[in-house]
Structures are given as C-alpha cells and as structure tokens.
Amino acid sequence: MPDAGENIHTTDVIIVGAGPVGLFAVFELGLLGLQAHVVDIMDKVGGQCAELYPEKAILDIPSRMSITGAQLVSDLMAQIAPFKTTMHLGEMATSLTKLESGKWRLTTDAGTVIEAAVICIAGGGGSFTPKKPKIEGIEAFEGKSVFYSVRKMESFRGKNVMIAGGGDSALDWTVNLNPVVGGMSLVHRRNEFRGMQATVDQMYALVKAGKVNLQIADTVRLNGTNGQVESVTLKNAEKGEYNVACDAFLPFYGLTMKLGPIADWGINLDSNKIPVNTENFETNVKGIFCIGDMCDYPGKLKLILSGFHESALMAHGSFHYAKPNQKLRFEHTTSSSSIQAKLGVTS
Ligand SMILES: Cc1cc2nc3c(=O)[nH]c(=O)nc-3n(C[C@H](O)[C@H](O)[C@H](O)COP(=O)(O)OP(=O)(O)OC[C@H]3O[C@@H](n4cnc5c(N)ncnc54)[C@H](O)[C@@H]3O)c2cc1C
C-alpha cells in the first residue's frame, strides 16, 4: 500500500510496454477518448524497433515502402502527441493488485503507483533485462555502487565512474556522463567497439583529451566493503592483474528479454505467451488485455501490423470498463468531427 499522501496516478488504461504496439495502443485508446499511462523498463520508447534494429528498413508497414525502426518509432510518437500521454520510462512494472473499487493498482520498481480500470499488456518479447558480468560477489554491490542503467545522471555527479562494455550503451554513457562525473574509466576486452562510428570517435576524442581512462582488459573482481566499490581488478596480457580505482561501476553488456514480473500477475500463460480471445484481446482475467508479440491465439503472427490491429480491438474492448456509463459509437477518422477535434485537425 502506498503511504498516506503518496502521489497516486489515475488514468483509464495502463499500458505495460512502450514498443510499437504499446505506442499505437495509446492512439487507438485516444480516439475513443481514453487516457493512458505507459510504463517501460527501457529509458527510451520503441521496444525492439528502437533497441534491436533502429537503422534497419522495415518493408511491411502498410503504405510505407520502407521505414527504419527509429523512424517508425518517431512517427508513432508524433501520431500520439495530441494525447499528451504520461510515459514512465526506466521503470519495470512489478506488482498488480485488484482494488475493492474494481480498479487495478500497478506499482513499478521505482515506486510509481498508477490506478486504472484496464491493464493493457504490450510487453513484446518481455522486459529488456541487462546481461550481468560474470564477476563473483557482484550482487553485494548492485544498487549501491554497481548499476546496469543510468536512471538519473545527477546521481553520478562528481563520482569516479568505471563503465564496462564495447557497444552502443557503453559508448553513449561514456560520452553523455562524462561532463557530469569527477573521473571516468572505460574498460573493454577488445580494442574494437561495436557502437556507431560517430560515438566511437567521440569516445576516442575524450581519451585523447585525458577525460576517459581507456583500459583494454578483462574485469576480474570488484574490491570494496559494504556494497561500496573502491576499485576494480582488471587483467590483460601486458600488465597481468592490476587495480583501477572507482566508486561506481556501470557494466553495459547488452540486454536479454525476459517475461519478468508479469508471470506473477495471475494471468494464464502458455510457453511465456499470454492467450487472448481474438474478439477484443482480453486475457482470462477480466479487465486485463494483451496485445503485440506477447499475446497468443491461433494464427498469431509476430508482426507490427498484427499488433496495430490488436490495439484497435483492445481499445474497443476496454471502453466499457473505463467508461461504464457511456455508449461507444464506432466512427471513422475521416468523418468524425469529435475525433478530429481530439487530434487537433479539421477535415
Ligand atoms: C531484428 C528484427 C527485425 C524485425 N523485423 C520486422 C519487420 O520487418 N516487420 C515486422 O512487422 N516486425 C519485425 N520484427 C518484429 C517486431 O519488432 C515485433 O513484432 C514488435 O517489436 C512487437 O512490438 P511489441 O510492442 O509487441 O513489443 P516490443 O517491441 O518487444 O516492446 C515491448 C516493450 O515492453 C517492455 N516491457 C516488457 N515487460 C515489461 C515490464 N514488466 N515493465 C516495463 N516494461 C516492460 C519492454 O522493455 C519493451 O520495450 C522484427 C524483430 C527483430 C528482432
């Protein structure tokens, strides 16, 4: 239970997952006059399109001959802009309880509490979860001086930070956090980086300027007490084992997708997928819907366009939970002046 006086958000529908399908669900709900809050563990919207293939061309979005993952996400954000949706990014939807009022209360790992009549799970392949380095005893430091994401840059102000990894996240945070920290090392096992060339160049420029201490080495162990890291032992062929001082260690070794806490919400599961009916994409639990890659039904295709269709039917199915005293009228965007007003356009 939240403490008395704690800020509880209320909305019509809580969407878990800001992938392409969760974003389009905001639009379909908005057309019916339903407000949504969106929660995603990622610090950016777009799900797989943004994380796994932002620069690849998608060739099967209706009416788009070719569109990159990043551009699709950007267009979806522009399309939902009129609805001024609240996004809770960098937060994992963890627990779900049913209230006496019949509404749902969702809590995130950051302590955000949201109440709504409807839950729409658009969790895709699952929550993106960091791959952890194989360093014995690292758990004792996690959340105190070892972090797998940067939720607030300010919390690293003045700190002596060591970043580990050679991909986009490691390089992006090396560049972005650099102006804030008191000192910075970057450790990677190879002298080759997998990030965008422009970011690799920025990183090398910081090394040249003496602002990043680049170490080509393996990470061996963390040294420190009471969860506070004081140095990291590194190892390479040239120096053997040696220590580099730091007071925060940020390993960015990539992400895997896991179903996560959704598995504990009392919804029927079948091989980590959520069975739904194809009339409105509701699960076996009344008021909880599932769309996109995470839902399952006979003939399901894991395609973005399937998720868009599922969003429209989910929105119609949600309406009578969110607005029990109102009648839902089916309208086309081309001819509905009320929809056009919601979108701020005139026909
Ligand atoms: C390389 C590649 C190429 C592809 N090419 C195509 C293509 O050409 N055409 C096509 O149609 N499809 C393509 N796909 C598939 C397409 O990307 C997926 O169908 C689509 O991303 C599914 O969207 P979604 O919104 O359901 O899920 P996702 O994109 O997986 O987004 C789900 C989001 O939910 C979040 N989430 C999950 N659980 C939680 C939780 N508990 N708390 C907080 N957040 C949570 C995740 O972090 C994630 O951001 C491709 C996929 C890949 C990997």
Paired tokens of 177: 């956090």
User: Angle of helix 20-31 relative to helix 304-322, nearest 10 degrees?
Assistant: 40
C-beta 293 within 6 A of ligand 1: yes
Atom of ligand 1 nearest to the CA of 108: 42
Q: How far is CA 122 from CA 136, 174, 253, 259, 321, in A?
A: 35, 31, 25, 11, 18
User: For residue range 56-105, what is the model confidence (pLDDT) as tens digits?
Assistant: 899 999 999 999 999 999 999 999 999 999 999 989 999 999 999 999 99
C-beta 127 within 6 A of ligand 1: yes
Atom of ligand 1 nearest to the CA of 292: 26
Distance CA 174, CA 234 (A): 18
Residue 1: pLDDT above 50?
no
Every domain of the chain with CATH number 3.50.50.60 lies at 8-128+256-343, 132-253
Q: Which residues contact 29 (CB under 8 A, 6 or more apart)?
A: 12, 13, 35, 36, 120, 315, 318
pLDDT, the chain, mean: 94
CATH superfamily of 8-128+256-343: FAD/NAD(P)-binding domain (3.50.50.60)
- Cα(39) to centroid of ligand 1, in Å? 14
Give the residue whose CA is nearest to atom 44 of ligand 1. Answer: 40
Give the residue whose CA is nearest to atom 12 of ligand 1. Answer: 303
User: What percent of the chain has pLDDT above 90?
Assistant: 86
- Cα(47) to centroid of ligand 1, in Å? 5
Residue among 67, 301, 304, 308 to mutate when testing ligand 1 (max atoms within 8 A of CB): 304
Q: How far is CA 268 from CA 101, 263, 271, 295, in A?
A: 23, 9, 10, 11
User: For residue range 263-281, what is the model confidence (pLDDT) as tens digits?
Assistant: 999 999 998 899 999 999 9
C-beta 48 within 6 A of ligand 1: yes
Residue among 48, 55, 259 to mutate when testing ligand 1 (max atoms within 8 A of CB): 48
The continuous run of DSSP H or E covering 79 comes out as helix 69-80
For 213, what's the count of Cα atoms within 13 Å in the CB-facing half-sphere?
13
Tell me, what's the pLDDT at 195?
A: 82
Q: How far is CA 205 from CA 161, 167, 175, 188, in A?
A: 18, 17, 10, 17
Distance CA 27, CA 229 (A): 45
Tell me, what's the pLDDT at 43?
A: 86
User: Angle of helix 69-80 relative to helix 20-31, nearest 10 degrees?
Assistant: 20
User: For residue range 280-302, what is the model confidence (pLDDT) as tens digits?
Assistant: 999 999 999 999 999 999 999 99
Atom of ligand 1 nearest to the CA of 17: 34
234, β-bridge pairs? 219, 242
C-beta 47 within 6 A of ligand 1: yes
Burial of 63 (0-12, 13-18, 19+ CB in 10 A): exposed
Please report which confidence band the pLDDT of residue 149 belongs to, taking 50, 70 and 90 as the band edges. Answer: confident
- Cα(122) to centroid of ligand 1, in Å? 9
Give the residue whose CA is nearest to atom 33 of ligand 1. Answer: 17
- Cα(129) to centroid of ligand 1, in Å? 14
Q: Which fold has domain 132-253?
A: FAD/NAD(P)-binding domain (3.50.50)
Q: What mean pLDDT comes out for the span 341-346?
A: 90
The continuous run of DSSP H or E covering 29 comes out as helix 20-31
10, β-bridge pairs? 115
C-beta 304 within 6 A of ligand 1: yes
Please name which of 17, 64, 14 lies closest in space to residue 44, comparing C-alpha atoms: 17
For 174, what's the count of Cα atoms within 13 Å in the CB-facing half-sphere?
33
- Cα(293) to centroid of ligand 1, in Å? 7
